[in-house]
Structure 1
Amino acid sequence: MSTKSSNQGQHYPAKGSEPAATSATMGNHHYEELSFYHGAAKLALNAALSPLDNAKVLMQIGFEPLPPRPTKTLFGRPALGLPNVFTYMSYMRKRDGFWGLYRGCTARMACQVVSGVTFHQVTSRITFQRCSHRRKTGCDGKREEDLNEEELRKLFMMATLRDLGGRLACIIITQPLFVVKTRTVAQFVGQEVEHSGVLASLRAIYNENGVLGYFSGLMPRLLGDLLSALLVASLTYVVNNYVVEDREFKAYTASFMAYIGSALTYPFHVVAACSAVSGSGLAAGSPPFMPLYSSWLDCWSDLKAGNQLKRGGSIFFRYYTGPQVLLGGRVVPVGNFPGSPDGLSRRL
């Protein structure tokens, strides 16, 4: 009796519970380790591709130091071709040295790290009354393909809103680093040295534009990223649920839609880069290379009028779209081509 009473109120782990807990702990540790290596690999890749990104930024802000040459389009029409990204990078290296190709690399990596941490922290804290949702949809333990249309719609809305919330926070928090990176790269035009590091750049931005300078180009960047994410999520949902039935093909839908979303919202990123540089005190953000825009809408209107909202969108097949005439079957630019010291401001 005494033995029985002494055992009352004691709770022993169920058979196999300790190994299960240990397995779960090991699984979480393994997942965190894989996430770390995945993040480190993305960071290394981002750093390695800095020269490509720098060349693209310079194209976006309208800096074209190499003159266009007569060529033909894929359809055989006469045109003026601009150098591809590799020729552009070769020019950058000759002028700035090898390490000059990696201008702004520190700010770029810092932006990626802060963005990744912010996105994880924000999305992990966004909830939508899970218990209420599960009682209404009854989708506990179901695979996605087993959900009905209403459950899929609710799941899509929750995932999309969570993603947009995370992106919104990331863009706002990393905008100062985006401005630092863009202006550091833009220094290549006038060979200034004010933005020689992240802290030096932050001081230079404050001295030139005040606190608002840290958020130059925020609105077009915000609209571009959020509209692209919303467009990709919506198109993927519609195609996978109402158009495509092949499960293997569905795996590639999101990637294809991401390309479409990126192409459609690309003008916002061009305007964001120009807005981040305009009025910065750098040669790249001042006449004759770039006008002093009063707002990002002013920048959009000016670039649209000159057919420049897509510049930098192609890094291999690039064509001059400024003033030009056709003489003797050859296209010739009118006046000095933009991008040179004697060029016509931003018209490229």
Structure 2
Amino acid sequence: MVTRAEMSRPRKERRGVPASGGSALDMDTAVVILGAGVTALTHPLLYVKLLIQVGHEPQPPTTGSNLFGRKVLYLPGFFSYARHIVRVDGKRGLFRGLSPRIMSSTVSTVVRSRVKQVTPIPDMEHVSNKDDIKTSLRKVVKETSHEMVVQCVARIFTHPFHVISVRCMAQFVGREMKYSGLFSSVAEIFRHEGIAGFFVGLVPHVLGEIIFLWCCNLLAHFINTYAVDDNFSQAPAVRSYTKFVMGIAVSALTYPFLLVADLMAVNNCGLQAGLPPHTPVFRSWIHCWRHLGAQGQLFRGSSFFFRRVPLEMTALAVE
């Protein structure tokens, strides 16, 4: 006979399955669904960004004025660019390369969950306001190291899907159909480039994420420790937003790593967007970085609005 105490326990626990396992599975499923939704909603934004990154400018610049009233040339912003894609490919064209991105998001969630099971979060020491400076710094380093391992493993597993997605979107430049589906794209890359083709651009991507993670966490820690006074009534609220603000600032500084990673994923893969005369064939990601730096293009695609024409393009327009 089942007692009242047993009836009050979760059904899975009464069957011998821990309730926490079910809740963890439900949480992973919810994260996967939410991630897929966010990925789908933001995909047009990232699609336009990728085309700008590879240097595809199908529309002429327009004349405008800056804050000082001087006339400058501006390249089309996100909405103008998106309308151009719709005119060429229809509304569905804004979602080119979406399926590998959803796969990447799903795989990332699963991998992160498995890695965290190997190093359980409850075993980690979290920073407390009661800790002294040396102890709190040690905990921040330990937490960041754990996050770095999770991020690196997830990136290695998801990077092949990122490469496929980037190449699917870059086909817009030359109107190719070389990468039309997930499985056919896998076969195409493996046939011509082997296993290494799935990991083109991985190094700058991982480096950018590692630098972002450490800079963001350490800067937030030092600001919360030395700049925010405990006597200030809003100190807890300020500390809760510090990492978010630092994330925005650091992401701008580490953007060139993301740009180089995306360009390397397209470079010399058989698509017009990654071949001369559209772009040089790069020997390595460092060669790509130096080329962009020499042209002042290391932040190309970082802005969707008020995109000023580069100086060399302005000179050609004047001539």
Q: TM-score range by the shorter chain?
A: 0.7 to 0.9
The answer on 1:124 being equivalent to 2:117 is yes
> What is the total number of aligned residue pairs between the two structures?
305
How far off is 1:208 after superposition?
2.9
How far off is 1:311 after superposition?
0.7
Relative to 1, partners in 2 of residues 1:306 and 1:203: Cα closer, same or farther, differing over 3 Å? Answer: same
Q: Deviations over 1:210-250 (max 9, x none)?
A: 22111111111111111111111111111112211311111
Partner of 1:79, secondary structure, is strand
Percent identical pairs in the alignment equals: 31
Question: Match for 2:297: what amino acid?
Answer: Q
Relative to 1, partners in 2 of residues 1:155 and 1:101: Cα closer, same or farther, differing over 3 Å? Answer: same
How far off is 1:171 after superposition?
1.2
Relative to 1, partners in 2 of residues 1:152 and 1:37: Cα closer, same or farther, differing over 3 Å? Answer: same
Q: 2-side partners of 1:31 and 1:125: how far apart?
A: 14
Q: Return the match for 2:144 from 160, 168, 177.
A: 160
Number of the residue aligned with 2:293 = 304
Number of the residue aligned with 2:105 = 112
- Does the Cα contact within 8 Å between 1:322 and 1:333 map onto a contact in 2? no
Number of the residue aligned with 1:216 = 200
- Does the Cα contact within 8 Å between 2:44 and 2:82 map onto a contact in 1? yes
How far off is 1:274 after superposition?
0.7
The 5 Å alignment of 1:93-108 reads 93-108=86-101
Q: 2-side partners of 1:36 and 1:147: how far apart?
A: 36
Q: CA RMSD in A?
A: 2.6
Number of the residue aligned with 2:77 = 84
How far off is 1:18 after superposition?
6.2
- Does the Cα contact within 8 Å between 1:300 and 1:309 map onto a contact in 2? yes
For normalisation by structure 1, the TM-score amounts to 0.80
Question: Match for 1:80: what amino acid?
Answer: L
Q: 2-side partners of 1:166 and 1:30: how far apart?
A: 21
Number of the residue aligned with 1:180 = 164
Question: Match for 2:264: what amino acid?
Answer: S
Number of the residue aligned with 1:198 = 182
Q: Return the match for 2:238 from 249, 274, 277.
A: 249
Question: Which one has a larger percent helix, Structure 1 or Structure 2?
Answer: 2
* Long gaps (5+) in structure 1: 1-15, 134-138, 327-331, 336-348
Relative to 1, partners in 2 of residues 1:156 and 1:325: Cα closer, same or farther, differing over 3 Å? Answer: closer
Partner of 1:333, secondary structure, is helix
Q: Which has the larger radius of gyration?
A: 1
- Does the Cα contact within 8 Å between 2:35 and 2:105 map onto a contact in 1? no
Number of the residue aligned with 2:302 = 313
The answer on 1:237 being equivalent to 2:221 is yes
Number of the residue aligned with 2:212 = 228
Q: Deviations over 1:114-137 (max 9, x none)?
A: 112112211331379x6xx9xxxx
